[in-house]
Chain A
Amino acid sequence: MAVAPPLLRVEHLTMRFGGLVAVGDLGFTARRGEITALIGPNGAGKTTVFNCITGFYKPTEGRIAVVHGEAGLWDELEALTRRGDRHLTLANGGLFLLERMPDHLVSRQAKVARTFQNIRLFSGMTVLENLLVAQHAPLMLASGFSLLGVLGVASYRRAERAAIDKAKHWLALTGLLDRADEPAGALPYGAQRRLEIARAMCTDPVLLCLDEPAAGLNPRESAALNELILTIRDRHATSVLLIEHDMSVVMEISDHVVVLDYGVKIADGTPEEVRNDQKVIAAYLGVADDEVEAVEAEVGL
């Protein structure tokens, strides 16, 4: 099987908060059409990496690049970096330097969407409204930046109908179609998690960043979530970057796993490789590398 071209490339990413190095010189690649998992013990810096990728933090050092379309655009990376521009957009794709873009442009232009570890839905708005807010940019354009929309032109009504159809598609996929008119805040926890994924997908992302999507889900919901993530990867030309503690999710669906500990990458490979990596086991057990066998014997692994 040919290796898929890279979609996201993180190089020398460092994030310092005062004296604390949350992420130190991290580099990894997420490939197109793959599910890349970012795992590590609590406090390893996974969410910090997410916040850097999605523009919520400005990294202290490093480069984060995303390519749309033609993989040959990667050759332009050095030139673009030197030029000091944020992005290069051509007819056959685009190259985006995420560390240079503010958060809302990371979503709007670079098409990188995210969910949050602690769910952030618009709880007082209905499920359908949540999904329409996610389509803000195209609808704003269709409404002539509100000027035509206030006059009630037909083209805006058509655009809104199309947006509702897209929302319905995602509601059907996440099993929320019957609850479309209910307030998001009234949904049960698992449904809120799915809605947040649906909302992120309504921005038409090329890369979807999921921050612990299985947290707090029961095994059945967790299995349904796996299905949903696989559907997103296989049918919607969206690659997935995943932070997850639930190993059943990580090992089952990931194509590629990156392991962080104390902000440093300690392993990078297929799920099988990572599962048997001494350093990873040591980090998860919280002991030094050479003590792993002793501890494993102790706990009966």
Chain B
Amino acid sequence: MALRAARDAAIWGGVALAVFVPLIGLQAVQDIRGELRLDTRWPLLVVLVAMVVGGSLVNSLLIAPWRERRGRRVPHENAALARAAAAFGRWFPPFAVGFVIVFPFLALWLTGMQGSVKWIDNFGIQILIYVMLGFGLNIVVGLAGLLDLGYVAFYAVGAYAYALLAKEFGFSFFTLLPLAGILAAFWGIILGFPVLRLRGDYLAIVTLAFGEIIRLVLINWVPVTNGYAGISGIPRPTFFGIPFNASDEGFAAVFGLEFSPIYRGIFLYYIILALALLTAFVTVRLRRLPIGRAWEALREDEIACRSLGIDTTTTKLTAFAIGAMFGGFAGSFFAARQGFISPESFTFMESATIVAIVVLGGMGSQIGVAVAAVAMIGGTELLRELDVLKEVFGREFDPTQYRMLLFGFAMVLIMIWKPRGLISSRAPSVFLKERKAVAGSLVKEGHG
């Protein structure tokens, strides 16, 4: 076995050497006279190749035998583990909701007025926007099984609907919120019609194109959207008519507090939290209604649905419309929070992030999506902060530059570890005697 391990390590080392010599070993630098010079970085090359060889040895001598032993072992302690998992599953959601409710005050208490802005705004609000988008897309992708790669279009519709209507007509945030949702739902139906007959990859491509169309319209319809320059000075939400500013009528003055931007942050945090909880609540309810079961049945087998009298056209359209509506809510909140929007905020990258959240979380699972949003968005934000990495990789290492790379690695690892997402099992919507989770391997992924 040791011989085999050594051989594997040698092969891996050879491959790594071949790849890393041009990539790492040689470096083109410009010297003072502006001439290109070839520098060598042999020590770094040696370290990296040694890491690969060492990793291969560790894998074949330690990890592989351990995995084999574990695979052979009869799962005898599974009952206790399953009970623990069930208890965790029951207690985690209420605990998580409780935590997010007290989170702003916790942040205030721990980091003070100045420090908490970052935690509430950059982390709290940002993550909750994506949680909400994830919940919304989860209806389309996770429940109905229709892969929508252009979800950001509805986010954009919601954002521009709020920005334009608020600036032109001066409607308040809470009047425009439902309106933006309805407009986004309308566009969801518009998208739904042409894609009703499409399945799988074709559906994904058309939805992707739809997202790009919306973005290009936003860029090119300059008289209305102001093109690339975007829309600035979008009215901010007020606390029942009291604005959050430093004036005498401002929130701080009215309540006799010292002015600080943190109050607006906390207020916005609770708005988006309420919206996200509303989305979760409605989705949970819908799953137990015939419409939700029809969505899931559609994901499992469309032909069987039709044989049971389910109109697949309206079922798909409602999935698109309701998913889009939540995207629209999130969009109008985004516009109100930023005060400035431009087409740059609604690129394909956003759609991809939201799809990744849904897939990573486990399609159809609310908790999974929420956890995945925290990991994805919080994780990328957190990587900005990690000075620890500087100690590991040296002074010049800037974690913010590598965060997408590190993040990509993390995603690959998670998908290898849990191919069907963090929560792969499906909770049945109704039961006779006992609620048994359905194993992920039985649940279909839909044809989208």
From A104, A121, A126, A183, B311 is in contact (CB under 8 Å) with A104
The answer, yes or no, to whether A216 is at the interface (CB within 8 Å) is: no
**Would you list which residues of chain A between 89 and 139 have a CB under 8 Å from chain B?**
103-105, 107-108, 113-114, 116, 120-126, 128-129, 132-137, 139
From B282, B290, B303, B438, A125 is in contact (CB under 8 Å) with B438
A129 and B290 contact, Cβ closer than 8 Å, known pairs A103-B306, A136-B309, A181-B436: no
Question: How far, in angstroms, from A56 to B436 measured CA to CA in the complex?
Answer: 35
The answer, yes or no, to whether B148 is at the interface (CB within 8 Å) is: no
- Residues B432 and A180 in contact, CB atoms below 8 Å apart: yes
- Residues B291 and A146 in contact, CB atoms below 8 Å apart: yes
**Would you list which residues of chain B between 78 and 99 have a CB under 8 Å from chain A?**
none
The answer, yes or no, to whether B285 is at the interface (CB within 8 Å) is: yes
- Residues B435 and A116 in contact, CB atoms below 8 Å apart: no
Query: Which B residue's beta carbon lies closest to that of A139?
Result: B290
- Residues B297 and A149 in contact, CB atoms below 8 Å apart: no
Question: How far, in angstroms, from A177 to B432 measured CA to CA in the complex?
Answer: 9
- Residues A140 and B312 in contact, CB atoms below 8 Å apart: no
Q: What is the interface residue range for chain B against chain A?
A: 35 or more
Query: Which A residue's beta carbon lies closest to that of B436?
Result: A181
- Residues B432 and A128 in contact, CB atoms below 8 Å apart: yes
- What sequence of 0s and 1s flags, for each residue 147-159 of chain A, a beta carbon within 8 Å of any chain B beta carbon? 0011010001000
- Residues B289 and A129 in contact, CB atoms below 8 Å apart: no
- Residues B430 and A146 in contact, CB atoms below 8 Å apart: no
The answer, yes or no, to whether A186 is at the interface (CB within 8 Å) is: yes
- What sequence of 0s and 1s flags, for each residue 120-134 of chain B, a beta carbon within 8 Å of any chain A beta carbon? 000000000000000
From A137, A146, A168, A182, B289 is in contact (CB under 8 Å) with A146
- Residues A107 and B309 in contact, CB atoms below 8 Å apart: yes
Question: How far, in angstroms, from A113 to B311 measured CA to CA in the complex?
Answer: 15
Residues from chain B with a CB closer than 8 A to the CB of A152 are 285
Q: What is the interface residue range for chain A against chain B?
A: 35 or more
Query: Which B residue's beta carbon lies closest to that of A182?
Result: B436
Question: How far, in angstroms, from A145 to B429 measured CA to CA in the complex?
Answer: 18
Nearest CB on B from A289, distance (A) = 38
The answer, yes or no, to whether A5 is at the interface (CB within 8 Å) is: no
- Residues A136 and B294 in contact, CB atoms below 8 Å apart: yes
Most central of A107, A128, A136, A177 by chain B CB within 10 Å: A136
Residues from chain A with a CB closer than 8 A to the CB of B442 are 123-124, 183, 185-186
From B286, B307, B428, B439, A103 is in contact (CB under 8 Å) with B307
**Would you list which residues of chain A between 242 and 298 have a CB under 8 Å from chain B?**
none
Question: How far, in angstroms, from A200 to B296 measured CA to CA in the complex?
Answer: 18
- Residues A183 and B439 in contact, CB atoms below 8 Å apart: yes
- Residues A199 and B443 in contact, CB atoms below 8 Å apart: no
Residues from chain B with a CB closer than 8 A to the CB of A123 are 300-301, 442-444
Residues from chain A with a CB closer than 8 A to the CB of B303 are 56, 116, 120
The answer, yes or no, to whether B431 is at the interface (CB within 8 Å) is: yes
Residues from chain B with a CB closer than 8 A to the CB of A103 are 306-307
A107 and B296 contact, Cβ closer than 8 Å, known pairs A124-B443, A126-B438: no
The answer, yes or no, to whether A164 is at the interface (CB within 8 Å) is: yes
Question: How far, in angstroms, from A117 to B336 measured CA to CA in the complex?
Answer: 55
From A114, A126, A135, A181, B307 is in contact (CB under 8 Å) with A114
- Residues B301 and A120 in contact, CB atoms below 8 Å apart: yes
- Residues B306 and A56 in contact, CB atoms below 8 Å apart: yes
Query: Which B residue's beta carbon lies closest to that of A133?
Result: B297
From A120, A137, A183, B304 is in contact (CB under 8 Å) with A120
Residues from chain B with a CB closer than 8 A to the CB of A105 are 309
The answer, yes or no, to whether A143 is at the interface (CB within 8 Å) is: yes
Question: How far, in angstroms, from A96 to B291 measured CA to CA in the complex?
Answer: 27
Query: Which A residue's beta carbon lies closest to that of B432?
Result: A180
Residues from chain A with a CB closer than 8 A to the CB of B291 are 140, 143, 145-146, 149
Residues from chain A with a CB closer than 8 A to the CB of B430 are 126, 128-129, 132, 160, 164
Most central of A143, A168, A181 by chain B CB within 10 Å: A181
The answer, yes or no, to whether A238 is at the interface (CB within 8 Å) is: no
- What sequence of 0s and 1s flags, for each residue 62-83 of chain A, a beta carbon within 8 Å of any chain B beta carbon? 0000000000000000000000
The answer, yes or no, to whether A226 is at the interface (CB within 8 Å) is: no
The answer, yes or no, to whether B308 is at the interface (CB within 8 Å) is: yes
Residues from chain B with a CB closer than 8 A to the CB of A124 are 296, 299-300, 426, 438, 442-444
- Residues B309 and A104 in contact, CB atoms below 8 Å apart: yes
- Residues B285 and A122 in contact, CB atoms below 8 Å apart: no
The answer, yes or no, to whether B434 is at the interface (CB within 8 Å) is: yes
From B286, B301, B310, B426, A136 is in contact (CB under 8 Å) with B310
The answer, yes or no, to whether A14 is at the interface (CB within 8 Å) is: no
A107 and B308 contact, Cβ closer than 8 Å, known pairs A125-B438, A168-B432: yes
Residues from chain A with a CB closer than 8 A to the CB of B282 are 150
The answer, yes or no, to whether A54 is at the interface (CB within 8 Å) is: yes
The answer, yes or no, to whether A239 is at the interface (CB within 8 Å) is: no
**Would you list which residues of chain B between 252 and 292 have a CB under 8 Å from chain A?**
282, 285-286, 289-291
Question: How far, in angstroms, from A124 to B432 measured CA to CA in the complex?
Answer: 17
* 3 closest cross-chain pairs (CB), A and B: A124-B443, A108-B309, A107-B309
Q: Can you list 8 residue pairs at the A/B interface with Cβ under 8 Å?
A: A108-B309, A121-B301, A121-B304, A122-B296, A122-B304, A126-B431, A139-B290, A146-B290
Further pairs besides A104-B306, A181-B431: 13, Cβ < 8 Å: A120-B304, A124-B443, A126-B431, A133-B294, A133-B305, A137-B309, A164-B432, A180-B433, A181-B433, A181-B436, A183-B439, A183-B442, A199-B308
